Amino acid sequence: MACVAVCVLAVYFYAHHNWNPLASGTTIDRIAVEKSVKRLSIFRDGRQIKSYRIALGRNPVGAKQEEGDMKTPEGIYKIDSRNAQSSFHLALHISYPSDEDNRRAAARGVSAGFDIMIHGIQNGRGWIGAFHRWKNWTAGCIALTDEEIEELWRVTPDGTTIAPRDARRFSLARPVGSPFRSITLQSRARARPPRPEA
């Protein structure tokens, strides 16, 4: 019986522990999201402070194209508002869609979608904790545990830049001070001049 209790406590600790908590007074200025590896990293003055494992939209490959496609957007946006009364514990609102997102969607005769957030777990289900990451389950948002969104909420000012990307298409090298200025390998290949024929 004691062994079962220890196992239960260990599982609960894993599911709800916020590893390497940030010091009081910490603030960030950039958020990078590498979709293909399900990782959200936060930065201050070009220095990575911490990373979190995340869940994404249920259709995670590729950029969001239209309302209801269950994809998480790709691009450069801002945290432009927050909702302390969210149905998902706490929510930081991402400024999707951009003007370009709206233009692309309008050209296809569809809505680009809206209400993309970084949020916690649905209210009443927070006991799931870290196990929510086992699959991508959101409608296009970025999900953390409740403990993690509480920390991110605290350290993220409105106006913070966020850049969700597909890490498979981007080089990992980033100059200091700009974690988002990556070049796609595909674009780099296209930029090479053709070799002259022998």
Q: What is the pTM of this model?
A: 0.79
142 burial (CB, 10 Å; 0-12 / 13-18 / 19+) is buried
175 burial (CB, 10 Å; 0-12 / 13-18 / 19+) is exposed
| DSSP letter (8 states) at residue 63 | -
- The CATH number of whichever domain residue 33 belongs to comes to 2.40.440.10
Output the six-digit token pair for 151: 């920390």
Mean per-residue pLDDT, 151-177: 78
Domain annotation covers residue 187: no
CA dihedral for 56, 112, 62, 188, sign (positive or negative): negative
Query: For position 166, what pLDDT does the model report?
Result: 87
Overall residue count recorded for the chain in this entry: 198
* Number of domain units in the chain: 1
Whether 156 shows a pLDDT value over 50: the answer reads yes
Whether 148 shows a pLDDT value over 90: the answer reads yes
Give residue-wise pLDDT tens across range 64-73: 999 999 999 9
Domain annotation covers residue 73: yes
Query: For position 7, what pLDDT does the model report?
Result: 59
Domain annotation covers residue 173: no
Domain annotation covers residue 78: yes
Whether 184 shows a pLDDT value over 90: the answer reads no
